[in-house]
Amino acid sequence: MGKGKLAKFADMASYPHVFEYPHSVAEQVPFEMKGHWREQFFKNDNPIVLELGCGRGEYTVGLGRMCADKNFIGIDIKGARMWTGATDSLREGMTNVAFLRTNIEIIDRFFAPGEVDEIWITFPDPQMKKVTKRLTSTAFLQRYASFLKPDGIVHLKTDSNFLYTYTDALVKVNNLPVEVNNTDIYGSSEEFRMQNSELNIRTYYEQQWLDRGLTIKYIKFHLPQGVTLQEPDIEIELDDYRSYNRSKRSGLQTSK
């Protein structure tokens, strides 16, 4: 039997590398480490990389293992899930991994301008009904731009054809510089896989989607500073499969 939620939350409260500031708390308590993550927590000058919607923290921990010369922060509101990665990284004595439990909608309260180098968005809910909730929407990209370094990098790894198509269109309409755009990373060449080795990290749910025959898409693009982004004017066919925690879709439907 797995460890209960209350016990996991108790563990998280005691972990030195976990910071818990849900919306209700963040409004009342200032986050004094904003702008000081490197010197006050990581104790180095290495680049800071965020994983948004980190879930169990598998990708954050996996990236931390692969890249000792970077600092990684997994962000999610669901602490019971985050406990897995937080516990694994603590047991392994990883000094380049931290976790922040908060709402992504207020993420700009925790990082100063230019403090973050890269953002990973791994398998988020595609939010097919509401544009402003998509983690690659202009609303969120403008938030990220407020604390990313100039020309910082955004990575999207997703099983959702809807979210991939939307993000691809958004990137194109705004002429954002793209480094990689791949619609089937595991079906790509060995050379591609070697050049993008961080994509080989597989989460629990990612493996479930792969087992069901879904392809994994990936876009890596730069986010310039001081630009006003616009939403793509495009109709997109909704994902017609029942994904984990996603509602059933049937028939040909489209959404902007």
> What per-residue confidence (pLDDT) applies to 67?
97
**Residues 77, 89: Cα–Cα separation, whole Å:** 18
pLDDT along the chain (256 residues), means of 10: 84 96 79 96 98 96 98 96 97 98 95 98 95 97 97 96 98 98 96 95 89 94 94 94 46 44
Distance CA 156, CA 6 (A): 32
Q: Which two tokens stand for residue 155?
A: 């990575």
- pTM for the whole thing? 0.92
Q: Cite the active site residues.
A: 125
Query: Amino acid letter at 207?
Result: Q
Distance CA 149, CA 153 (A): 9
Please state at what angle helix 58-66 crosses helix 79-91, rounded to 10 degrees: 30
* pLDDT of res. 241: 67
Amino acid making up residue 162: F
